[in-house]
Amino acid sequence: MGSIIFLVLLVVLVAWVIGAYNGLISLKNQTLNAFKQIDVQLKRRHDLIPNLVNAVKGAMDFERSTLEAVIQARNQAVKVNATGPEGIKQISKAENALSSSLQRLMVVVEQYPQLKATGNIGQLQEELTSTENKVAFARQLYNDTATQYNTKQQQFPTTLVTGLAKAQPADLWEIEDQAEKAVPQVDLSMKPKV
């Protein structure tokens, strides 16, 4: 009788370990996959920027410094050869700089209605908005997935099998740039002041 109870407990324990282990591995792969998504979107952005700058260069001769800042930030971002979630700090720093330089460019484009009126710029603006959104949403998905993965690792009792699954906390993609953090300034939502 005693041995049967022992056997049942053992089976339950093994089943739990397998379940927890597989859960962690699945989350780990999801996190990796979410990171690859960011990578794909960043590549797209890097490819788009030269086209964009070429298209507005003629019309925006007077905003040379803004354009140069974009080009420079882009080249910096391309140069970063860190890969995988481990290099996330390095990548995010360069990419965040690129994001804020692009945002400045968009603001400038907004300020010149005659620039916006040409169809080309309108399309490019849409492409740029979309690219920025794609990067942001890929980042959001990665951060959500990584948070879930990290939480699972720390929670008891799953934390007991983290060593077995070789699970390590994944770094989140932080927005460090103060300028980017402070972007929403226009507030028409009539929210109560807090």
Q: Which residues bind another protein (CB under 8 A)?
A: 34, 37, 41, 119, 122-123, 126-127, 129-130, 133-134, 137-138, 140-141, 144-145, 147-148, 151-152, 189, 191, 194
Continuous segment of H or E residues that includes residue 171: none
Nearer to another protein, 46 or 71 (CB): 46
Nearer to another protein, 63 or 149 (CB): 149
CA proximity to 42, closest of 178, 122, 142: 142
Nearer to another protein, 79 or 193 (CB): 193
Q: Are 170 and 146 in contact (CB under 8 A)?
A: yes
Helices and strands of the chain, counted as H and E runs: 6, 0
Nearer to another protein, 72 or 133 (CB): 133
Nearest-approach distance from CB 167 to another protein, in angstroms: 15
132 exposed, middle or buried (CB, 10 Å; 0-12, 13-18, 19+)?
A: middle
Nearest-approach distance from CB 60 to another protein, in angstroms: 21
